[in-house]
Structure 1
Amino acid sequence: MPAVEWFLVACAAHARVMQRERGMPMVQVAAFSHPQSRLKASELSDDRAGREYADRGHGGMAYEPRTDPVHKEHQRFARELADYLDEGARASAYGSLVVFAGNPFLGDLREALSDGTRRLLRTSLPVDLSHVGPAEIERRVEDELAST
């Protein structure tokens, strides 16, 4: 096990980065909040769907955005978290990373990580621990890692 290990505990709206040094208890080093991820699509979108009208005949066609606005916010938050993790990796702030996040947000996070950060990724698990306290996170992390 490396001397310093980081744990990202996240959901699409909140995240915490916990750090554990060898032989020491886990401590929180950063916290993030992205309230836009909790908004409804109608609250995120500033216009209606685009329309195309036929040259002849009646009616037209409405076009939906290619990416759901809520998913776009999830991706934006995943990118913010990945940037923080990438910065820590470049600064050698940690030697190993474990990610806990619920699906589908875990996929957005994995996709956003740089190659350098991916090399430090020990494992990523589809478990949402964002709602529990630090002591419970430490206990659950141990349980989850023991079962992998």
Structure 2
Amino acid sequence: MADGTLWILVGNASRARLFATDAKAQGDWRLVEEFQHEESRAKAFELLNQPDNPNAGTLHGPPVENEPNGRKVVEHDRFARELSDYLDKGHDRRAFDKLVIAAPPEFLGRMRRLLSSRVKQRVLLDVDADYSNVPARDLPDRVPVL
């Protein structure tokens, strides 16, 4: 594994930032990656009116997007999966030793469900809070990493 590298994922259902720092010294946070998921910001009716709907239909009942806000749920899950996959790849590259996740409760729950067991073993802390609009320079004071 990376020598004492701590990754901190701060985000919500439409935006996330991933930072890295030395887990022991807890120095400056370096931005590793920024993620945007515009579909999660769209209004439900805009998503339903998309001509090319990649999630249309299932074999086991009505598609989730036919429910109120169903497409929003699909998009939130899609973004959580994208982040989870990125963390898996980071784990495979030995890019981090420990992980802290800060997200609003609903999205944090999605992330928890989608994280692989090997990434879950690296989770040091998860924080139920939306710090997605907090400037990067203020995050170390808001997100407790130890």
Letter in 2 for 1:93: A
Residues 30-51 of structure 1 show CA distances to partners (whole Å, capped at 9, x for unaligned) of: 000001001111111248xxxx
The answer for the alignment partner of 1:66 in structure 2 is: 64
CA-based RMSD of the aligned residues comes to 1.8
In 2: Cα distance, 1:83 partner to 1:66 partner: 23
The answer for the alignment partner of 1:41 in structure 2 is: 44
Three-state SS of the structure 2 residue aligned to 1:85 is helix
Whichever structure has more strand as a proportion of its residues is: 1
- Say whether residues 1:8 and 2:9 are aligned partners: yes
Segments of structure 2 that go 5 or more residues without pairing to the other structure are: 51-60
TM-score, normalised with respect to structure 1: 0.80
In 1: Cα distance, 2:28 partner to 2:117 partner: 29
TM-score, normalised with respect to structure 2: 0.81
User: What is the 5 A alignment of 1:1-148?
Assistant: 3-21=4-22, 22-23=24-25, 24-46=27-49, 65-67=63-65, 68-142=70-144, 145=145
Letter in 2 for 1:66: V
The structure that has the greater radius of gyration is 1
In 2: Cα distance, 1:46 partner to 1:131 partner: 29
Three-state SS of the structure 2 residue aligned to 1:29 is strand
Segments of structure 1 that go 5 or more residues without pairing to the other structure are: 48-62
Three-state SS of the structure 2 residue aligned to 1:132 is coil
Shift of 1:64: 6.4
